[in-house]
Amino acid sequence: MVGLADIRAVTEGLPRSYEVLVRDRIKFRVGQLVYLAMSRDEKQMGIGFPKEEREAALAAYPDKFLPPTKSDERFRWIEVDLSAIDETELRELVLDAWRMCVPKKVAAEYFGE
């Protein structure tokens, strides 16, 4: 199972990314945009995710992905069960979510594109 330490390892050094504590929940932001939010028990994370791909991910991987809360359905967001993913999947999900929040130029420089 991956956890908060693994998430911090992935987010460390991401340009414009920073960690905040909001109402006892750890969140990772770019500016004011939240791209990752931990559940209070740190067993799940909410993460930026393409809205148009959400239903397919929920249907294909019901053990990994959970729908966002009603209030978050309008956003590009999905919930992830951390016990169902490995470090490689975590890194991919976090980097994809971060990439959705930064300017294309910043992401291209980070990935060497």
Write down the pTM of the prediction.
0.95
Q: Which two tokens stand for residue 1?
A: 């199972």
Res. 9 pLDDT band, cuts 50 70 90: very high
Report the distance separating Cα 92 and Cα 94, nearest Å.
6
CATH architecture of 4-103: Alpha-Beta Complex (3.90)
Query: Which pLDDT belongs to residue 51?
Result: 95
Secondary structure class of 68 (helix, strand, coil): coil
Going by C-beta distance under 8 Å and a sequence separation of 6 or more, which residues neighbour residue 11?
17, 19, 28, 36, 94, 98
Report pLDDT digits (tens) over 19-66. Answer: 999 999 999 999 999 999 999 999 999 999 999 999 999 999 999 999
Contact in structure between 11 and 17 (CB atoms under 8 Å): yes
Query: Which pLDDT belongs to residue 1?
Result: 84
